[in-house]
Structure 1
């Protein structure tokens, strides 16, 4: 692994399922302060697309709890900050984690991980990037009405990307997710 990759290994968050969110055995990956300057959507798009992912939109704070069972999703934060609630639906009493993301950060959510902004500052804005072979995301809203067993099967069928949105081919994402999938057990599943 290159020295620059070693210095920027992502933080990992493993989340157990909740009654309304399937989550995933694969960890959320958070790369701190890795986007090139100047921070803007065009520069972030060039960076992530140069690493094998494709931009499909840009947004500010989304406060609705939701998840995508059919694709991973990556945010490249180009302005401001947001406290994200990950892995817990609006009806869940426990579970999940809150994570602060800031300008320059990149966060990658495996399929099935719920997410929403609980607060945002300084004009929070990010681009959304996805593996180029991924289908258009499907939104589910953590209502607890979803058939969890069917969703888990769908989530497990989603391919692990060949590229890391920060480091490209052979980046940490591919290695970390393949190892987690091979183990097949979320370390938090029994908590």
Structure 2
């Protein structure tokens, strides 16, 4: 599904990766294509903080206690999102992926200069979950309790995340 140049991707559980049962992954292709190095500043301006720059781990992992945004600053990569049975996505400078809590992600390959800026709503500290530290029932409860952010990391108060991430009450 596309909405304002945002692709939504829904995933079921995949092995040890719970994914998010309520919220889709959002893929903003080329959101910052003219100025990819501004991704971190814009995330921070939109209250996605506790930011960092670096790579993406080369193993499946997820965060059960917060959502995460990744903006490609340089280079390109193939990422798999949603666990082993997920979807492979090619990302390039300016692309942004918003991962709802519980969504698996892994770098399959990348150029040597691949770098992303990452951040979390309200500057939340993230945990790191893999198949080795996965208590399924408690994780699913935790994932479902994470609130929808007050702002879209790319477009702020008027962004598509606010309409695309409506939880069923």
Does TM, normalized by the shorter one, top 0.5?
yes
Instruction: Determine the structure 1 residue equivalent to 2:151.
Output: 163
Unpaired segments of 5 or more residues in structure 2?
none
In the alignment, the residues of structure 2 paired with residue 36 and residue 102 of structure 1 have an alpha-carbon distance, to the nearest angstrom, of 8
Q: 2:42 aligns with which of 40, 43, 47?
A: 47
Alpha-carbon distance change, 48 to 104 in structure 1, aligned in 2, over 3 angstroms: same
Q: 1:146 aligns with which of 134, 138, 141?
A: 134
What is the Cα deviation at residue 50 of structure 1? 2.2
Instruction: Tell me the secondary structure at the aligned position of residue 127 of structure 1.
Output: strand
Instruction: Determine the structure 2 residue equivalent to 1:103.
Output: 93
Q: 2:15 aligns with which of 12, 19, 37?
A: 19
In the alignment, the residues of structure 1 paired with residue 6 and residue 50 of structure 2 have an alpha-carbon distance, to the nearest angstrom, of 21
What is the Cα deviation at residue 55 of structure 1? 4.6
What is the Cα deviation at residue 107 of structure 1? 0.5
Instruction: Determine the structure 2 residue equivalent to 1:76.
Output: 71
Instruction: Determine the structure 2 residue equivalent to 1:189.
Output: none
Instruction: Determine the structure 1 residue equivalent to 2:161.
Output: 173
Question: Is 1:115 aligned with 2:115?
Answer: no
Q: In the TM superposition, what whole-angstrom CA distance separates every residue of 1:126-145 from its partner, at most 9, and x where no partner exists?
A: 110111153x11101123x6
TM-score normalised per structure 1: 0.80
Q: How many residues align?
A: 166
Instruction: Determine the structure 2 residue equivalent to 1:187.
Output: none
The RMSD of aligned alpha carbons is: 1.8
In the alignment, the residues of structure 2 paired with residue 173 and residue 164 of structure 1 have an alpha-carbon distance, to the nearest angstrom, of 5
In the alignment, the residues of structure 2 paired with residue 30 and residue 177 of structure 1 have an alpha-carbon distance, to the nearest angstrom, of 13
In the alignment, the residues of structure 1 paired with residue 51 and residue 41 of structure 2 have an alpha-carbon distance, to the nearest angstrom, of 13
Question: Is 1:28 aligned with 2:16?
Answer: no
Q: Is the 8 A contact 2:50 2:120 kept in 1?
A: yes
In the alignment, the residues of structure 2 paired with residue 15 and residue 175 of structure 1 have an alpha-carbon distance, to the nearest angstrom, of 19
Instruction: Tell me the secondary structure at the aligned position of residue 117 of structure 1.
Output: strand
Q: Is the 8 A contact 1:67 1:142 kept in 2?
A: no
Instruction: Determine the structure 2 residue equivalent to 1:60.
Output: 55
